[in-house]
């Protein structure tokens, strides 16, 4: 292992190639998880981000080695990568017509992917591999755990469609009579695709329970045409 690390840190064609290979490998592995879950940024995007970040550090090291007397900050280009990767992250975050935010995990994955690429580019092999293992742990272990915890939480958001505007007041009154707290109520104007009035709402159940059973209960309320958790 020490021999491999020393080889990666060497300023040779093989050493530089091994750094780029590590960056590519990390990007592909992280991108595979996102691709498997049909997210906006997949294998190619994560691999390119990781390679680009690694190359930034390699170029910075090249400048330092080529002009040793210059006042060059070895971390300058890396800092620009960390801040500049934000434009890709913003591109993966979308707010749907139902006020549902998507893409935050993918954006965070791109940002940490750039960090791993920087580590690989400077030859920090141990940091690259350890960070990759932790990222996979988060995506494959903590994400399902997060979904299970969210499925049992008391607070969650709903998208609802009603028969008419008067039905909205009846439904809210019915929910409150059951001890359900209603907040962040946003009503949408009628659209061609949705002829009935629609709204997104945050509800807080009086106790922890099954969200799907609660949603099924709401579907039985008179005046509700459609409801789903978002």
The tens-digit pLDDT sequence of the chain (230 residues) is 778 888 888 888 999 999 999 999 999 998 888 887 777 678 888 899 999 999 988 988 888 888 777 776 777 777 888 878 877 777 777 666 656 667 788 888 888 999 999 999 988 999 999 999 999 998 888 878 877 777 778 888 888 888 888 888 888 888 888 888 888 888 776 555 556 788 888 888 887 777 888 888 888 888 888 888 87
The pTM for the full model equals 0.71
- Give 62's contacts (C-beta < 8 A, 6+ positions apart): none
Contact 27, 131 (CB under 8 A): no
pLDDT at 96: 65
**CA contacts within 13 A on the Cβ side of 10:** 12
pLDDT at 205: 84
**Exposed e or buried b per residue across 27-46, where buried means at least 16 C-beta atoms within 10 angstroms of its C-beta:** bbbbbbbbbeeebebbbebb
Cα–Cα distance, 175 to 6 (Å, whole number): 65
The residues of the chain that CATH labels 3.30.70.260 are 155-229
Cross-strand partners of 187: 199
The CATH number of domain 155-229, selected from 3.30.70.260, 3.40.50.300, 2.60.40.10, 3.40.50.1820: 3.30.70.260
pLDDT at 192: 53
Burial of 215 from C-beta contacts in 10 A (0-12 / 13-18 / 19+): middle
Strand 198-204 relative to strand 101-102: parallel, antiparallel, unpaired? unpaired
């Amino acid at each position: 292992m020490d021999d491999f690390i020393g080889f990666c840190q060497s300023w040779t064609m093989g050493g530089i190639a091994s750094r780029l290979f590590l960056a590519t490998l990390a990007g592909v592995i992280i991108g595979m998880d996102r691709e498997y879950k049909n997210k906006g940024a997949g294998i190619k995007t994560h691999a390119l981000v990781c390679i680009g970040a690694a190359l930034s550090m390699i170029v910075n090291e090249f400048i330092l080695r080529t002009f040793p007397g210059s006042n060059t900050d070895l971390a300058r280009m890396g800092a620009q990568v960390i801040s500049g990767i934000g434009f890709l992250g913003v591109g993966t975050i979308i707010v749907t017509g139902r006020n549902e935010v998507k893409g935050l995990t993918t954006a965070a994955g791109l940002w940490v992917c750039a960090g791993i690429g920087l580590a690989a580019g400077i030859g920090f092999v141990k940091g690259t591999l350890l960070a990759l293992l932790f990222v996979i742990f988060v995506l494959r272990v903590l994400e399902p755990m997060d979904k299970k915890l969210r499925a049992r939480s008391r607070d969650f958001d709903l998208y609802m469609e009603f028969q008419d505007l008067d039905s909205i007041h009846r439904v809210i009154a019915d929910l409150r009579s059951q001890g359900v707290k209603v907040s962040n109520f946003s009503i949408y104007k009628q659209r061609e695709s949705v002829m009935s009035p629609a709204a997104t709402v945050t509800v807080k159940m009086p106790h922890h329970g099954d969200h799907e059973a609660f949603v099924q209960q709401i579907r039985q309320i008179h005046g509700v045409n459609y409801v789903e958790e978002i």
